[in-house]
Amino acid sequence: MACDRNSDALSDVAAGAAASTDLLAHLAACEACRTELAVLRQALAVADEEMTRLLAVEPRPEVDARIRSAVAASEPVRPGRAGWLGPALAAAALLVVALAVILTRPPSPEPTVAVDTRPPPPPHTPAGESALAGAASGSALSQGPRPAGRPAAPAEPEVLVPTGGTEALLRLVTLVHRERLTPAVLGAVDRPAADLAELRPIDIKPLEIVPLGAAESSGT
């Protein structure tokens, strides 16, 4: 067993580093360390021998011809078949749509977002009330601006869609997902998102909590 304080230095020397004067003096006096160094060197000799033996295996002579045949047989890429083109076009189209929505939106003192997942309002409902979307909690527009740098809570909606636009958005997302989006299927609508300017918070009354015991006792 080698002296503990020399084990790292012995590995270094076995791996090819020069031994220090102190280590050489110690080796001259310590048989255990000499033995350990010999063992480490022999271990490396075993590894070198095995690597040499393995790498002595040569490829068969026909390998180059086989590679040439494989290259010649592989299918050339034709223009328009590149796999990245469809997704890239889709991403670009989506970016244009998103920019159009952002740029046509009037400035708001409350920079919050909401998702409209509800159907269009009935005819008698005022447009401003119906356009508030995704406000099941009533908090998206009523909380005011968040402090800078604070991330949105996961439950908050992140996309503001004009009333009636949900279907078109879902269709767009589906086309992107199926990589079938081309400029031909996109139709531009030259109309500002007027509904968005009329968004107002809605009031939701606090939930009334009825104790379970009271309800059961009143039922019996």
Partner 1 sequence: MVLDGAIAAGWAGTVSLNPALEREFEARLSDSSRLAFKVALSVLRRREDAEDVAQEAFLRAHRSFGAIRDRERFRAWLVRTTFRLALDRIRGERRRSRREDAVAMDARLGEGTVEDDVARVELRARVAEAVAGLPEKLRLVTVLVAIEEQDLGSVARLLELPEGTVKSRLHRARKELAEKLRWLVIETPTR
Query: Is 127 in contact with 194 (CB distance < 8 Å)?
Result: no
Q: Which is nearer to partner 1, 28 or 39 (CB)?
A: 39
What are phi and psi for residue 6, nearest 5 degrees? -105, -5
Q: Which is nearer to partner 1, 67 or 202 (CB)?
A: 67
Query: Site for partner 1 (CB under 8 A): which residue of 64, 110, 129, 158?
Result: 64
Q: Which stretch binds partner 1 (CB under 8 A): 65-73, 128-136, 141-149, 157-165?
A: 65-73
Q: Measured over all CA atoms, what is the biggest interatomic distance in the chain, rounded to whole angstroms?
A: 103
Shortest distance in whole angstroms from residue 27 CB to partner 1: 16
Interface with partner 1 includes 15 (CB under 8 A)? yes
Q: What is the DSSP letter of 4?
A: G
Task: In whole angstroms, give the CA distance from residue 215 to residue 220.
Answer: 9
What are phi and psi for residue 33, nearest 5 degrees? -70, -35
Task: In whole angstroms, give the CA distance from residue 13 to residue 23.
Answer: 10
Shortest distance in whole angstroms from residue 55 CB to partner 1: 6
* Residue 203 one-letter amino acid: D
Interface with partner 1 includes 47 (CB under 8 A)? yes
How far does Cα 194 stand from its chain's mean position?
Answer: 34
Query: Site for partner 1 (CB under 8 A): which residue of 5, 18, 58, 209?
Result: 58
Which of 66, 156, 58 lies closest to 114 in space, CA to CA?
A: 156
Query: Site for partner 1 (CB under 8 A): which residue of 22, 31, 48, 158?
Result: 48
Query: Site for partner 1 (CB under 8 A): which residue of 57, 153, 155, 209?
Result: 57
Q: Is the dihedral of CA 35, 37, 38, 43 positive or negative?
A: positive
Footprint on residues 73-132 left by partner 1 (CB under 8 A): 74-77, 81-84
Q: Which is nearer to partner 1, 81 or 150 (CB)?
A: 81
Residue appearing with tokens 């009333």: 163
Interface with partner 1 includes 20 (CB under 8 A)? no
Kindly list the residues in this chain that would bind partner 1 in the complex (CB under 8 A): 11-12, 14-17, 36, 39-44, 46-48, 50-52, 54-55, 57-60, 63-64, 66-68, 70-71, 74-77, 81-84
